[in-house]
Amino acid sequence: MSLAPVLRDAAMRWITDDSDLATRTELQQVLAQAMVGDADAIRDLTDRMSGPLRFGTAGLRGPVRAGPAGMNVAVVRRATAGLADWLARDGARGTVVVGRDARHGSAAFADATAQVLAGTGFEVRVLPGALPTPLLAFAVRELGAVAGVQVTASHNPPADNGYKVYLADGAQLAPPGDVEIEARIAAAPAAVAIPTATTATTVDVTGSYLDRVARLPRGAARTLRIALTPLHGVGGATAVHALARAGFIDVHVVGSQAAPDPDFPTVAFPNPEEPGATDALLALAAEVQADLAVALDPDADRCALGVPLPDGTWRMLTGDETGVLLGDHLLRSGGYPDPLVATTVVSSSMLRSVAARYGARYAETLTGFKWIVRGGPGLVYGYEEALGYCVDPDTVCDKDGIAAAVLAADLSAGLRAAGGDLLGRLDELAAAHGVHRTEGLSLRLEPAERDAVLDRLRAVPPAGWDVERPAPDVLVLRGEGRRVVIRPSGTEPKLKAYLEVVEPVPDPTALPAARATAEERLAAVRTEVQDLLVRIARCPAC
């Protein structure tokens, strides 16, 4: 195996243009090994030079490594130059806020971001140290900034990092801005030629954020024991302070996961949705006899809840269960003029029924909070099934795991004071709105294969289903009391399907039977959809 001259030359040009000694040296070492015919080094170099990273969902995300297809100082400098050029397209400048998490490279990437923005004439405010993403989203509006950048890879694997952009309204960047910025990044000069300055100043908005979150509770009950884990991320201290400000002081944190650690040593994958990720949390919850368990993802914009079962064991609620509980709690408490609640096409449809019960408006959007928070005027709540909840859009116009935890504690404490619990409230909601069972499945396929499957389903819909197409790459199959949403993953070579069945509950005594029927129907839909996708993937023309 030999190194292609074009690949060699591209790597040498990148090394020359790289502004960071560490990554220049790193790529030089890979290139040297590739030039002597090392096959692994050639493959590694090919992958590193396959970039650039795409400026996709709100920004960049990828492995921390040298080269255009990695997260490194040179890539961040060029991305920031493109962002700055886009922000100043009308000739104006303003304040930009920069924050970061505690992942590998985050401090250096935040510094590079601040220096390039300052070098292009923006007034830069930097948050102090590693802090949750919701604080950055809050700071943008609190400081009247024109944009914000958070260096984070959220709940990605330890090797990754990312670069997330917020606009002046505090919401994530949305199309067509992402495409326009990507074009300006492509036209940006080499990293070594980009002007920089060190005029950024530090600003701390934590106190203001905590004051706002402390006002979220609707009830007066505060007797509640909480077990909490930040999963080695940056949300632990802020969450404990937020809960305390709101009156919840009986909080027990998983000691082995309390401090930020970019290697996430106690979990296989730092995502509360992943099997095993919350084992330590539930063990602590059982040990201290907690009433509620809370898991934040590493940048604290997502929140998962765990509840005790009658037999003394614990289970985590699904994102849809928590989403409906919090939405119902906010609408039940009232006080909103003409409220709007929103969720995505892949989340449970129960929120629609809950909204109708309270006379609220309802919006169903494409996947992602960049769409949820733009669901319409008067938004008071939005959620997505992937553990994201926007419980106070006027404070943080994005998902906020810390605020969601405070509101969940408020709901749980109120129910406890009245002799109930979250599982009982879920029973009430199911009895009133029907059993809504949801589940996701995925099929690993390369992009061309995914596209072929979607094209086939659009051309020849499966029997017994009506087909809708809310977006070019999203298909919705609807049948009697059942729904399937199929779309490609935005980050992995997968085709994803989101299943839902709805089983009516004629009266509360029929709830157990309705749940059993819903399980059977969901299993049947799962088998049908999985067989359908596998069959088409094997032979799209059949």
Biggest alpha carbon–alpha carbon distance for the chain: 75
The conformation of residue 508, written as its DSSP 8-state character, comes to G
| Residues with a known catalytic role | 154
Integer Cα distance of 165 and 272 in angstroms: 24
Q: Contact at 8 Å (CB) between 465 and 484?
A: yes
Q: Quick one: how far is CA 256 from the chain centroid?
A: 24
- C-alpha distances (whole Å) from 444 to each of 270, 323, 473, 533 are 21, 28, 16, 11
Please name which of 440, 427, 437, 441 lies closest in space to residue 502, comparing C-alpha atoms: 437
- C-alpha distances (whole Å) from 411 to each of 220, 326, 330, 408, 422 are 10, 8, 9, 5, 8
Beta-bridge partners for 463: none
Q: Contact at 8 Å (CB) between 433 and 354?
A: yes
Sequence-separated (6 or more) residues with CB below 8 Å from residue 526: 439, 441, 499
Residue 144 region, left (φ>0) first, then alpha (ψ -120 to 50), else beta? left
The pair of structure tokens assigned to 228 is 């909490």
Neighbours of 211 (CB within 10 A): 12
